[in-house]
Amino acid sequence: MRFAAPRRIMAAAVIGSAALSGCQSAGPTAPVASVASVDTASPDATITGSPAQIPGSAGTARPVTPSPSPVDETTRQVERLLTERSGALAAGDPGAWAATVHDPASAQGAREIAAYQGLQALGVRSLTVSDIRTLAPMAGDPPGVLTASVRLGYRIPGFDRADRVLTRTVSVAETAGRWRIVRWLGAGDQWEAFDLPGLQVAHTTSVLVAGPVPTEELLAQLAAAETGQGQVADVLGRATAAVVVVPTDDTEAAGLLGVAGSQIGSTVAATTHGRREPGRPAGADRVILRPSGLSRLTTAGRRVVLTHELTHVSLRAQSIHDLPFWLSEGFAEWVAFRDEGLPVRTIAAVLLERVRAQGPPRSLPTEADFAGQDGEAGVAAAYQGSWLAAQRIVRERGAQALVALLRELGGDPDVLAPVESAELAPDELALERAMSRHIGDGREQFVTLWRAELVALARY
Ligand SMILES: [Zn+2]
């Protein structure tokens, strides 16, 4: 089943003393470029404290300049400068990188220099550049500064299996006969980890953790993620190498998601973010932690959140189609809670309270339920209902049946060619057939039994 992008899944549950889970997942087909249209409150300004220096106005889409020539001076210079930056990364030459920066002594120039250090720390050795388009000047642009939009790709060796591709707004200026980059991150652009000054990186073979945070905190997150990867591998057979980004505050988290802070639900503690081409496995997801959401959780809750997101990363990397929300979220919750030893009524407390008040939901949780159409409690109930559905499948048919259902609906990247598989995305009929085959119940029967279980659990 495929869903329109971008989709947002968010939740957090505070259940008794055990605060639990949060998740916000960018849709597999969500174009990274779409974040440029989000009306953000200039995340750069929060960091630099000098919004007036930032080229472009926050979140405002610039029209592409109608140019008689397909390659104008701005386009040429931007391409040259980004190629030089790629060469500097390959050579490990900070001087060559610094030579592309317009004014290294300025606050913006310092951010440009810091990006080199961040990319080096991540192990990035090259950049790909495409779709350079000159943008029309806007009111407030400093004189002499020209801007272009660029599709910039990079990958972290050993962790990304495909380029992570971003749309960036690059501004350039000429001094002493040479063009240089003023800033390669527009006010409305989505940030990457290397845009965070002071980035530190720690990794094992299965997890890379990056953030401008103290080493001790970074290593603690790495250890927790390693444990989570072990839980994922126990269920799926293997865990795909994952990248976790640890921002210092919610502003950075919002920048990394390419949204305004107000657009992230207050209960979201972590997000799996990435692009996915139709019919292809995700190749460069990021798990982005959200400090304020995590701070509301217990140690167990933080562990559950991380394992939940790492489950998404592996499943998205090991499949080519989206799953129904109740199934992908239910599975991630099931993996995350599997070893926690919490009672069912603790994990599902919000949902069961609602069942007592208004009866069981009519259907399995939908995209709208996860998107918060019914408030934060509704989102929590959606996660809990999905978890109970997954839990039910495992109890009745075993974990292997749940995984077989996921594998069938998600498709195997190694079996089908991408073009063919994109046309074979599972629909309602495929879901019905797969459920009958692996669970023994068609969907209607499954929902009936699931609802009855909710009622029974709510009684006691
Ligand atoms: Zn999730």
317-354 pLDDT per residue, tens: 999 998 999 999 999 999 999 999 999 999 999 999 99
Q: Where are the alpha helices (DSSP H) in 338-417?
A: 344-347, 349-358, 367-370, 375-397, 399-410
Residue 306 shares a structural domain with residue 422: yes
Rounded Cα–Cα distance for residues 62 and 336 (Å) = 43
310 CA → ligand 1 middle, Å: 9
What mean pLDDT comes out for the span 297-302?
92
CB neighbour list of residue 66: distance below 8 Å, 6 or more residues apart: none
Distance of alpha carbon 174 from its chain centroid, rounded? Answer: 36
Distance of CA 376 from the midpoint of ligand 1 (Å): 15
State the DSSP code for 60. P
Q: Which CATH number covers residue 145?
A: 3.10.450.50
User: Measured in whole angstroms, how far is the alpha carbon of residue 182 from the centre of its chain?
Assistant: 28
| 50-90 pLDDT tens trace | 222 223 333 456 666 555 454 588 899 999 999 999 999 99
* Alpha-carbon distance values, 302 to 73, 199, 224, 295, 353 (Å): 50, 22, 9, 9, 24
Residues with CB under 5 A from ligand 1 (ion): 23, 329, 332
CA dist 5 and 189 (Å) reads: 18
Looking at the predicted structure, is the pLDDT value of residue 223 above 50?
yes
Residue 277: the pLDDT is 84
CA of 260 to the centre of ligand 1 (A): 20
Whole-number pLDDT of residue 424: 56
What global pTM score does this model have?
0.85
Q: How far is the CA of 26 from the centre of ligand 1 (A)?
A: 10
User: What distance in angstroms lies between residue 273's CA and the mean position of ligand 1's atoms?
Assistant: 11
For residues 286 and 256, the answer to whether their CB atoms sit within 8 Å is yes
Domain that holds residue 296: 14-32+197-459
Domain boundary among 164, 187, 210: 187
196 C-alpha to center of ligand 1: Å? 25
User: Other CB atoms closer than 10 Å to residue 138's CB: what's the count?
Assistant: 13
Kindly give the distance from the C-alpha atom of residue 168 to the centroid of ligand 1, in angstroms, as a whole number: 27
How many whole angstroms from 308 Cα to the centroid of ligand 1?
Answer: 6
Cα separation, 101 vs 112, whole angstroms:
7
Q: Is residue 266 part of a domain?
A: yes
In a domain, 3, yes or no: no
For residues 310 and 438, membership in a common domain is answered with yes
Write down which residue in 134, 164, 187 finishes a domain.
187
Number of domains in the chain: 2
pLDDT at 33: 22
User: Contact, 153 vs 130, CB < 8 A?
Assistant: yes
Calculate how far, in angstroms, residue 24's C-alpha sits from the geometric centre of ligand 1.
6
Tens of pLDDT, residue by residue over 159-177, are 999 999 999 999 999 988 8
CATH number at residue 345: 1.10.390.10
CA 83 – ligand 1 centroid, Å: 37
Q: Give the distance (Å) from ligand 1 centre to CA of residue 114.
A: 32
* 18 & 45 share domain: no
